[in-house]
Structure 1
Amino acid sequence: MRSVFSLAALLLVTQAAFAADYFPPKGSWATHAPEAEGFDPAKLQAAIDFAKASETKFPSAAVDSRDLSLVIPLQFSGPYSDPLGPLKAHAPANGIIIRHGYIVAEWGDTNAVDMAHSVTKTFLSTVAGVAFDRGLLPDVNTRVIDAVRPTADFMLPHNQPITWDQMLRQTSGWVGTMWGKPWWADRPGKNPYDQLAAGPPPVGTQWKYNDVRVNAFSLALTYIWKRPLPDVLRQYVMDPIGASNTWHWEGYRNSWTTIGGKRIHIVPGGGHWGGGMFISARDLARIGLMAERGGMWKGKRILSEKWIQMARTPTGPNPGYGYMNWFLNTDQKLFPAARGDAYAFIGNGDNIVFVDPEHDVVAVVRWIDDAQKAEFVRLLEAAIQ
């Protein structure tokens, strides 16, 4: 009898090992029944139904909440709020749930290519990670200006001490103007003059979500690579993980510069002023799975373990944030129902790539009301047997 139990245990371990080895090939993705991967089907369906019912919508039907060409300029209305990059209407709520690498559930059109908003920041930091791993950015704690000086603003006395790590964590306090948008114009509050008059905080002391500073980081990183960041992402990340050919990373109409004699379109790290990453839920799931597998894909290292460890290290002024845009579940504050080692890539809309390393689960949820994301995760976790 003992040998029977030993054989059964060995089979379970072997099955788990094979599951962890599965990576979807380009153009296809194996689907398993929820119960085959340890989900309660009824409870999982309840989580999906909740996500669909919680789609971000306006109380009034007068304006289509899915038409981002209308929504974004209104949402971020204020000084310098005019869009510079493309905006488009997005698909209805959709999502995909992965366990052990396999699809266990999908809803809506998961091939719809829509704005990912600030999940774009995750792609931006990923390109920085590739630069780090390849020795182009060997020490993130060095000053940015010791490597590149893209504009005169980088040489302002306030900006000179800023490190790559601080830019990655959104604690740089960088001041200046990027593509016609001054640093104080992003989420300036009720009285923008107060922020302008007060000036920036000392470098590294305050966490501030600010797309102007993110765009300054994108420009500096492009100077490191000396080529368009979407090309870098495609070569070192998206093609190796089998992403589709439908994603595209859009710049602004005026975000062009010359580096090494080449005219390069600089891409933003979000959709605040339009542009950014346009991508499907299925391709987002591949990024989530690569991260969940520790930066590996089919035996090929995409990102180093060291980089992912740094990305998941809490930021001093905001322990719930690592590198852009790794939102951490520190002290289980973001997702109380998940363990502290869970994390998510989050963008406006909301666009969410939730990763639960403990259970080998990746969930992409698009266009869910921000206030409902923790409840969705609770229902998802409750469905795991």
Structure 2
Amino acid sequence: MTSFAATPALETIVDFALSHETEWPRSMYYSDGAYVGNVEWNETGPWTEIIGPVAERGGPAGVILHRGDRVAEWGDADRPDMTFSIAKSYLSVLVGLAVKDGLIPDLDEPVRARVDGPYFSISHNAGITWRHMLQMNSEWRGEIFGKDDQVDHYRQIGVGADNSRKGQLREVGRPGSHYEYNDVRINALAYALLRRFEQPLPEVLRERIMNRIGASNGWRWEGYSTSWVDIGGARVQSVTGGGHWGGGMFISANDHAKFGLFIRQNGVWEGEQILPEDWMKQSLEPTPTLDKYGFLWWLNRGCDANPKLPSTAFSALGAGGNCLWINPEDDVVAVMRWLNPADHQVFLERLVGAIAR
């Protein structure tokens, strides 16, 4: 696909993105048959089976919006691709809708107060709140859809992550005491949210947000072959917070950009406040257990903050080099697909410099 940039400075940004593609194979499987996620996270043992759909990825793609105007685009920005953990930030926004609807009247109320069944009923999980689940410090313990939370014990993410201990059993603490990036716990949150809406989460997202903001019909949000549940007598699939074992959100750069603009506008579209007015403010407050994390959003805050980028900037990040970056200070929304994660910060620093010219 052709690319364009509104200024010579942005042209260099586009060239950088096109020339720094992720090392992940486009098939999503290495030559020995290993799934990219299993290799990325050094995953071995009884919970490695891929149980959701996987699709071959496209090449580098992206979109940059400045003050709502499209100022750069590269690759196939209309191609729906797996987006891995960016789905978590969409899930966070759906929690905001549930709060607005009164389905979750208090984020500090235990999830078990409104979601019955086994996942939040054991004594250790009984005190887990919606806030804990959003902050990734719930210390939820158990198995859901055939995956045990132990699989992500000691997990690290990001460039240079050390996952040599990943999957070793860790003694979990009280809810709210320890941050751990754990996809099984996110799947438990998605299930709990499904139980509150009593409607498939992709339908809620499509009806309440994506159709409103003019997103395409090409995106989809998948669960696992094991995640079908009964909701009001109907068989419904509970979705996942990423593509760790397949599944997750398959979406284009253009649809990400529209969603990012919606978030940049504080959940307002065409004059209507769709999200609670204070939802994004709450979502972007650093958590007590990780100062660069909010409600399933990554912040440029704390000891790891990049001083060359605005402190108010925040991101939805997905493995393999997927990023939705929102910079309120400069009114920028940027989507990068399949950009080598080691080059993300350089890309963003150059983007800030190009916009400032």
> TM-score, normalised on structure 1?
0.84
Contact kept, 8 Å, 1:335 with 1:378, in 2: the verdict is no
* Counterparts of residues 5-20 of structure 1 (less than 5 Å): none
Q: Where does residue 190 of structure 1 map in the other structure?
A: 164
Q: Where does residue 74 of structure 1 map in the other structure?
A: 39
Q: Deviations over 1:190-247 (max 9, x none)?
A: 3567x42x42122101110000000001111111011111111111111111100000
Corresponding residue to 1:328 among 289, 299, 323: 299
What CA distance in whole angstroms lies between the structure 2 residues aligned with 1:227 and 1:114?
24
> TM-score, normalised on structure 2?
0.91
What CA distance in whole angstroms lies between the structure 1 residues aligned with 2:28 and 2:272?
37
- Per the alignment, in what secondary structure is the counterpart of residue 358 of structure 1? coil
- Per the alignment, in what secondary structure is the counterpart of residue 215 of structure 1? helix
Is it true that 1:123 corresponds to 2:123 in the alignment? Answer: no
User: Size of the alignment, in residue pairs?
Assistant: 339
Q: Which amino acid aligns with 2:53?
A: P
Corresponding residue to 1:53 among 11, 19, 25: 19
Q: Where does residue 181 of structure 2 map in the other structure?
A: 209
- Per the alignment, in what secondary structure is the counterpart of residue 98 of structure 1? strand
Corresponding residue to 1:233 among 205, 209, 212: 205
What CA distance in whole angstroms lies between the structure 1 residues aligned with 2:231 and 2:21?
42
Corresponding residue to 2:57 among 83, 86, 90: 90
What CA distance in whole angstroms lies between the structure 2 residues aligned with 1:334 and 1:81?
33
Contact kept, 8 Å, 1:219 with 1:266, in 2: the verdict is yes
Corresponding residue to 2:227 among 252, 255, 263: 255
Corresponding residue to 1:162 among 128, 140, 146: 128
| Cα distance, 1:331 vs structure 2 | 4.3
- Per the alignment, in what secondary structure is the counterpart of residue 359 of structure 1? coil
| Percent of residue pairs identical | 40
Radius of gyration: which is bigger? Answer: 1
Q: Which amino acid aligns with 1:74?
A: V
What CA distance in whole angstroms lies between the structure 1 residues aligned with 2:189 and 2:164?
26
Gaps of 5+ in 2: 30-34, 155-162
What CA distance in whole angstroms lies between the structure 1 residues aligned with 2:100 and 2:165?
43
Q: Where does residue 243 of structure 1 map in the other structure?
A: 215
Contact kept, 8 Å, 2:4 with 2:73, in 1: the verdict is no
Q: Where does residue 9 of structure 2 map in the other structure?
A: 43
Q: Deviations over 1:52-101 (max 9, x none)?
A: 1111116xxxxxx1212442343343121111100111110010100111
What CA distance in whole angstroms lies between the structure 1 residues aligned with 2:349 and 2:62?
16
Contact kept, 8 Å, 1:332 with 1:339, in 2: the verdict is no
| Cα distance, 1:259 vs structure 2 | 2.0
What CA distance in whole angstroms lies between the structure 2 residues aligned with 1:311 and 1:371?
26
User: Could you say which structure has the higher helix fraction?
Assistant: 1
Q: Where does residue 364 of structure 1 map in the other structure?
A: 335
| Cα distance, 1:152 vs structure 2 | 1.6
| Cα distance, 1:378 vs structure 2 | 0.4
What CA distance in whole angstroms lies between the structure 2 residues aligned with 1:182 and 1:348?
21
**CA RMSD, aligned part only?**
1.8
Contact kept, 8 Å, 2:84 with 2:318, in 1: the verdict is yes
Contact kept, 8 Å, 1:129 with 1:303, in 2: the verdict is yes
Q: Where does residue 282 of structure 1 map in the other structure?
A: 254
What CA distance in whole angstroms lies between the structure 2 residues aligned with 1:332 and 1:207?
16
What CA distance in whole angstroms lies between the structure 2 residues aligned with 1:174 and 1:146?
16
Contact kept, 8 Å, 2:4 with 2:74, in 1: the verdict is no
* Counterparts of residues 265-280 of structure 1 (less than 5 Å): 265-280=237-252
| Cα distance, 1:319 vs structure 2 | 1.0
Contact kept, 8 Å, 1:211 with 1:269, in 2: the verdict is yes
Contact kept, 8 Å, 1:332 with 1:338, in 2: the verdict is no
- Per the alignment, in what secondary structure is the counterpart of residue 207 of structure 2? helix
